[in-house]
Chains A and B, each alone.
Chain A
Amino acid sequence: MTLDHQALFGAFLSPHGRASGPQGHLVRAARLDGVAALAGARVGLLWNTKRNAELLLVELGRLLIEQYGAEVTARQAPYAHAVPLDGPDLHSLIDSCDLAVVGVGDCGSCAAAAINDGITLERHGIPAAVICSDAFDVTARATAEVQGDPDYPFLTTPHPIAVLAETQVVRRAEQLLPGVVARLIVQAEGAAS
């Protein structure tokens, strides 16, 4: 007896679930035109409850003010680290900023949430720089694929972050700053992202 295994096993039902809704279109917000445009730009900071996330983002905000003349107009109140931004929280952020810095994706669920938030903000016209730790690169990339933007660029910083002392977090912010700026403005051709 010769059997066509593919034909036979094609009768097995797939155990996969289904999409919970239509996948969003690939939409990236327009970047600001060069670093000069950062002057006066309103930067929204969206931090999660992971230890040192608030400190890192507040420090990045301070550097954007000091070095580029940006304004930090929204410091989103901490929200549960795994819950994607939605509803009034999302709209209050969108209404009060031109750019956003999101992070830190440093756990299984909050890395996914950070990417979701970044892509959501982009779809609402807000360019976002999302920061994840390098331990969650795979989760972050898989989340971007699920959301229909598989090449969504995000920044990584070495894990761990939660154990860093304040001075080390400040140093991390300084190291991340060029990448954050590059994510928020139109770059010269050939520049690294």
Chain B
Amino acid sequence: MTGPRRLGADTPEELGIVQAAVEYAYDQDWSDGLPVVPATRERTDAFLATTDRHPDEVIGRLEPLRREVTVETAAVNAVMAGCRPEYFPVVLAAWDALMLDPTTAVGAWQSTSGPAPLIVVNGPVRERLALNGGGGALGPGFRANATIARAIGLLVRNGLGVRPQVFEQATQGIPGRWGMCLAENEEESPWEPIAVDGGLAPGSDAVSAMLVRDTEFVDNRHTADPEKLLADLADTLGRTGALIFEHAAAGLVLCPEHAQLLARAGMAKEDVRRWLADHTRRSVADLRAVGKNGLTDLGGRGVRVDRPDEERSGEDRVFATDTAQHLPILVAGARNAGISSVVRLFTSWPRISARVESCPADVPVPLSLVDPEVEA
């Protein structure tokens, strides 16, 4: 035999090695709670072969924690997350897109609000990687979706050292943190992909990423009136519990049925945004009732506080602008019901999408285990 003998995990003894390897990773505190795939040199190199970027290129830095991560750090964590090598260019693009949000360099990962990346993929790469953008797009069940999002989470945890209850101080956390990666359903969207709002040409392989604090469903399947649908969306968008600052920002993940209904009424995404920015308001009386009628002026950002004696009246607009910075819109999900989602943004969307590097069609997938007796 030339070269190391590959183990097929086909005997109880060899399966025991696999289980021990998983436990080893837990013992090192490398896991987000679920089993990880051990990152060997061989497998990590297969990931690095999908990119022209140098393994030592620094791709992220968290100065308050004195940590930085490289392309290779990302590859190791992507292996551990369960990615296939050909997913790696999307992992890198997702990371690049997140780094374009300035809050990720100073405090977003540590925040008590525990924001989660919502990673949106556009372009032909969606099909190449079997990324789901149809039924259950925000849910589980698809390897590329699940592992690309998880790779970002492991990179934050292991790479930057932001571990729960130490530097990560989420009060309650968010279901789906490190689990929200979806393809946009471009085929059933009446509009241009979100990456066009992010400055790229239609048809580009691209990733857009935003930090979100929740997803809230809007179930409206029995009206054909676009204004009634928009009013229903505006009600969720204007929820007082989500108001912290003078203005809020929120994205819409519209299902194909809702997007098409609005498009049939002649509305472009800009029209939808304009309508929602104009109509999403809360009365000062409502705000006073929940202790959010007052505004401080701290560092140029108005923070909502309780001012029981303030005599102001009228209405407050929820959105500062009607742009994609404060109201990004994408289309995802099945065309089987009128169910859309509001995603509450941590701050805003920088409106810059990241390109996905092209990668060879056939990347070899090496096995992770090598028999050390043979190799020695």
Which residues of A pack against B, CB within 8 Å?
A: 1, 3-5, 7-9, 11-21, 23, 49, 51, 78-84, 107-113, 116, 136, 138-139, 142-143, 146-147
Residue pair B61, A20 in contact (C-beta under 8 Å): yes
Chain A residues within an 8 Å CB radius of B68 = 17-20
Known A-B contacts A20-B63, A20-B67, A21-B66; the reply to A12 vs B40 at CB < 8 A is: yes
Considering only CB atoms, which chain A residue lies closest to B376 in the complex?
Answer: A7
Residue pair B110, A108 in contact (C-beta under 8 Å): yes
- CA A21 – CA B65 in complex, angstroms? 11
Min distance, Cβ A111 to any Cβ of chain B, angstroms = 8
Chain A residues within an 8 Å CB radius of B301 = 49
Chain A residues within an 8 Å CB radius of B155 = 15
**B25 interface hit (Cβ, 8 Å):** yes
Residue pair A109, B106 in contact (C-beta under 8 Å): yes
Considering only CB atoms, which chain B residue lies closest to A106 in the complex?
Answer: B112
Min distance, Cβ B7 to any Cβ of chain A, angstroms = 10
Chain A residues within an 8 Å CB radius of B65 = 112, 143, 146
Count A/B pairs, Cβ under 8 Å.
Answer: 141
Residue pair B299, A49 in contact (C-beta under 8 Å): yes
Give B1-39 interface residues, CB cut-off 8 Å to A.
13, 17, 20-21, 24-25, 28, 30, 38-39
- Within the complex, which residue of A5, A19, A138 is in contact with B165, where a contact is CB–CB below 8 Å? A138
Other A-B pairs, 15, CB within 8 Å; known A17-B68, A78-B298, A112-B107: A9-B20, A9-B21, A12-B21, A15-B73, A15-B155, A17-B67, A19-B67, A20-B62, A20-B66, A82-B110, A84-B64, A108-B111, A111-B169, A112-B110, A138-B165
Chain A residues within an 8 Å CB radius of B60 = 17
- CA A17 – CA B39 in complex, angstroms? 14
Q: What are 5 A-B pairs with beta-carbon distances under 8 A?
A: A5-B24, A18-B73, A19-B67, A20-B63, A51-B305
Residue pair A16, B39 in contact (C-beta under 8 Å): no
Min distance, Cβ B39 to any Cβ of chain A, angstroms = 5
In the complex, how many residues of chain B place their beta carbon closer than 8 angstroms to a beta carbon of chain A?
56
Residue pair A107, B39 in contact (C-beta under 8 Å): no
- Within the complex, which residue of A12, A21, A109 is in contact with B107, where a contact is CB–CB below 8 Å? A109
Known A-B contacts A13-B39, A80-B106, A84-B64; the reply to A108 vs B24 at CB < 8 A is: no
**B93 interface hit (Cβ, 8 Å):** no
- CA A79 – CA B299 in complex, angstroms? 6
Residue pair A8, B167 in contact (C-beta under 8 Å): no
Chain A residues within an 8 Å CB radius of B165 = 138
Min distance, Cβ B77 to any Cβ of chain A, angstroms = 5
Residue pair B80, A15 in contact (C-beta under 8 Å): yes
Residue pair A8, B107 in contact (C-beta under 8 Å): no
- Residues of B contacting A: mostly: mixed
Residue pair B76, A110 in contact (C-beta under 8 Å): no
Give per-residue flags for B138-177: 1 if the beta carbon is below 8 A from chain A beta carbons, else 0: 0000000000000000110011110001111110000000
Considering only CB atoms, which chain A residue lies closest to B72 in the complex?
Answer: A13
Residue pair A17, B160 in contact (C-beta under 8 Å): yes
Considering only CB atoms, which chain A residue lies closest to B68 in the complex?
Answer: A20
Chain A residues within an 8 Å CB radius of B77 = 15
Known A-B contacts A5-B24, A13-B40; the reply to A18 vs B70 at CB < 8 A is: yes
Chain A residues within an 8 Å CB radius of B372 = 3-4, 7-8, 11
Chain B residues within an 8 Å CB radius of A8 = 17, 21, 372
Considering only CB atoms, which chain B residue lies closest to A165 in the complex?
Answer: B306
Residue pair A51, B296 in contact (C-beta under 8 Å): yes
Chain A residues within an 8 Å CB radius of B44 = 13
Residue pair A15, B158 in contact (C-beta under 8 Å): yes
**B99 interface hit (Cβ, 8 Å):** no
Chain B residues within an 8 Å CB radius of A14 = 28, 30, 76
Residue pair B154, A15 in contact (C-beta under 8 Å): yes
Give per-residue flags for B350-376: 1 if the beta carbon is below 8 A from chain A beta carbons, else 0: 000000000000000000000011000
Min distance, Cβ B252 to any Cβ of chain A, angstroms = 28
Min distance, Cβ A175 to any Cβ of chain B, angstroms = 23
Considering only CB atoms, which chain B residue lies closest to A6 in the complex?
Answer: B24
**B339 interface hit (Cβ, 8 Å):** no
**B242 interface hit (Cβ, 8 Å):** no
